[in-house]
Amino acid sequence: MSLLTTPIDDPRFCPGCHHLRILEELAGAIGELGLRPEEVCLVTDVGCVGLADRYFNTHTFHGLHGRSVTYAEGIKRARPDCTVIVLMGDGACGIGASHVVHAARRGAGLHVIVCNNLRRGSGAGQYRSRTPGGHAPLPLPDRLPEHPFDICQLAIANGASHVGRFSAFDPELRRHLREALRAGGFVLLECWEACNASAAAAAEPLTAEALATLAERLGMPFGLLHTGGPRWRPAPQAAAEQPEPPLGFEPVRPLELSQRAAVWLAGSDGQYVDFAASVLGGLATAGSLFAVQSTDRPIVGGDGYSVATLVLSTQPIRHLGCDDPDVVVILSSSGERRLGSLGNLSPRCLVVADKDLPLTPTRATLAQVDARSLVGELGDAWVALSLSAFGLVRRGLFTGEGLLAAAEANLTGPLRAPVLAALKRAVAQAVGPTASRAPDGASARG
Amino acid sequence: MREFITGNQAIVRGAVRAGCNFYAAYPITPAGSICTEIRQAFARLGGVAIQTEDQIAAIGQCIGAAMAGARAMTASSGPGLSLCSDNIGLAQMGEVPLVIVDCQRMGPATASATAAGEGDVLFARHVTSGGYPLPVLAAADVASAYRLTYEAFNIAERLRTPVILLASKDISLSRQTVDLEAIELPPQARRPPAPAGRAVLPYAVQAPADVPGFAPLGGEHPVRFTGLVHDEAGMLTVDRAKIRRKLTHLRDKILARRHELELVESDLDRRAETLIVSYGVADGAAREAVAEIRARGGYVSHLTLHSLWPVPREALRAALTPRVRRVIVPELNVGLYADELRKVISTAEVESIQRFDGGLIHPQTLVEHVLEADREPSRQQSPAEPASAVTGKTAGRRSRTRGGRRCRS
């Protein structure tokens, strides 16, 4: 073998196996390109050809079956100057096909050599996704031929830049490998080869002609199949200036809170419930208070409710749960359903709800608002915030002046203006006359 | 400066503070926002953050990058941790410094992506084949998510091991007021370097508990990495003496340091007969319960476990004074860690407080459970309140449905 490899005193491959020939040509190609051992990382995984790493004096990485492309991609991203070569068997191509697809798509900067001996040599000669129909070393259970999986076309279709399929008998194999190592982008070279792991196969070795005939018959011809296409672009690693956050909080002016306060916001996805709670919690935090916000949204299933709970206090809050709210804001029926019965709410709780929502009976004080006109006035993103602030001021937890002064002093960024507008609207409404009614429908002052 | 941030933001801040510069993950609730947050941080500070085709590729890329010198992290939830299982074993065998965050959700299977659940505490420990020790930390709130992410990197680097950090939906997605700059952190640990020289023996150690010196893939001198059982050169071995040496090393490098891996907050009262041992999101309820019990004149001790594996025996031993006869373990699963504590606690009865319906254990549930000791057996239960806790004095022997306070989240 070439200068790149350690002396092979105990070759691990069977007599007649083509792996050694491919490895010799690969080592030769690496040497002809003038690459030093420390400039190359050979990544292998489980399978006969995965034993190759021991013969190379380069950096080597031997990982899990079919996952070699993933390790190689990580190594390449961390060491963009390293030439990363992946040696996979045909079995690894089957189990790790999706990694090949996505590494090709990402132009991962890898040189993948698929050593396809058409069967599982290191196991018991089982057939696999690359075994062509009619050539299975063991009979298929149902005797139905399976079409072999074309890793080359898969790579081409997904953005590989240099793809070829060659026979291990090809006298020009080293040149093909050299060209593959020289190419950028995601490079894949498949070598079809012979396996003599079974007695039957060893008794009747595969010839170059038989392999070529098989390739033609399957419509998987040898040759360079594709060049050009996307190239690898290393991810930018340099630090870059970031734009100002849309909403910033500066602790300039304290915010007075009359007592520990708990708010439930119940709406649907798209009603900015979580955002509203985060703005109020951020404002409270900038105002030297402590806040805790938890969320409840069904990512899978469910009916699109979005519920947030917010607790505000002058002291650190340990428990994330929020019991016995002072203010409940209800923006949608699905939000209300998620809260469950409002019957347990105490009379000192203020329920702020859209006037068109039918609510379950409650002893809580009810403040009905025209959320639809508020959407028209403020925009979708600001209604939950405005109504929560309204509830907190109306309930006497913040003073209107205190909340506005803290917001004016503590907010920064492009969203400062709409937040202030929503809070001003809330305060104006909270200190002005608003229709409230008891659950039986009789009007009352909140 | 105080900020109002999510647990996932805190995890990213802790990772960046620890020098993390490589992140790969497949999006999954409730871990998903870690990727968007860390991309923003890396755009400012430098680093690679990639969204991969699946969790297998994510941890695979992290392992490759880590062995090429990066400080790597991946994050997922229980279903994704399952997919990482095989590669966590590879990271153990290959001695890869790697942080894996599991933002737990209700399980098994898809279950509920956004419901509270912390049922991965045993799974994290036994996530891969072979049975070798794996450090597992557990965040209890947003601030500890920050600190423990940093600590996880330090352990991973110092011991060249994968480390699992458990968070959960109610930590990852909740926001809390925190002052991260005020949190004291130990110095940033670095993996021990391989001795300078031409021939690198990537797995050479003097004593079994030593950590092998690190030389990066792609560095100055060629190095070998393998998931096969190997000798000090990184070559496959079938020599039983070498195999025993390697696997003893994988065990001893963790267990010989189990004392320094203990991350526990102790709040002990020498008069207490009751010890609450909590971890994860139930810890917040435990802290409030402890404050209330003491305000009512009761005596109670409390341990917050931030490291679950190896089991922090020293801290438990110190807390289990002869007076302590009850150990109360609240957790958002079927009493998994309580069962583990029963294996190491022989001087007191371990009582499990469980909740696994997607809600949180309420502080009042714990207060009542602690104070009820002297009032057994009569105890009132409000029929209007939903069942929120199942308690078992010992597993399978006695368990009851307990009334809990209504608890929104």
Q: What is the pLDDT of residues B73-105, one digit of tens each?
A: 999 999 999 999 999 999 999 999 999 999 999
Give me the DSSP letters along B328-392: EEEESSSSHHHHHHHHH--SSEEEEEE--SSSPPPHHHHHHHHHGGGGTT-----TTSPEEEEEE
Alpha helices for B160-239 (secondary structure H): 169-172
Q: How far is A12 from chain B (nearest CA, A)?
A: 12
Q: What is the mean pLDDT of chain A?
A: 87
Q: How far is A251 from chain B (nearest CA, A)?
A: 8
A326–chain B Cβ distance below 8 A for any pair: no
Residue A374 clears pLDDT 50, i.e. is over it: yes
Q: Do B50 and A235 touch (CB under 8 A)?
A: yes
Residue B28 clears pLDDT 70, i.e. is over it: yes
A292–chain B Cβ distance below 8 A for any pair: yes
pLDDT range class, residue A341, cuts 50, 70, 90? confident
Give chain B positions within 8 Å (CB) of A298: 112, 114
Please list, in sequence order, all residues whose beta carbon lies within 8 angstroms of the beta carbon of residue B85, skipping any fewer than 6 positions away. B127, B128, B129
Question: What is the pTM assigned to this prediction?
Answer: 0.92
In this structure, are residues A336 and A345 in contact, taking their beta carbons and an 8 Å threshold?
Answer: no
A232–chain B Cβ distance below 8 A for any pair: no
The region of weakest confidence among A319-323, B96-100, B334-338 is A319-323
Residue B119 clears pLDDT 50, i.e. is over it: yes
pLDDT range class, residue A297, cuts 50, 70, 90? confident
In chain B, what percentage of residues exceed pLDDT 70? 91
Beta bridge partners of B274: B326
| B311-317, long-range: CB < 8 A, 24+ apart | B311/B340, B311/B341, B311/B344, B312/B261, B312/B262, B312/B263, B312/B264, B313/B258, B313/B262, B313/B344, B314/B259, B314/B262, B315/B262, B315/B264, B315/B266, B316/B277, B316/B341, B316/B344, B316/B345
Query: Which residue of chain B is at minimal alpha-carbon distance from A297?
Result: B114
Give chain A positions within 8 Å (CB) of B227: 62-64
ipTM: 0.92
A to B CB pairs, distance under 8 Å: 238
pLDDT range class, residue A5, cuts 50, 70, 90? low
What is the CA A274 to chain-centroid distance, rounded? 22
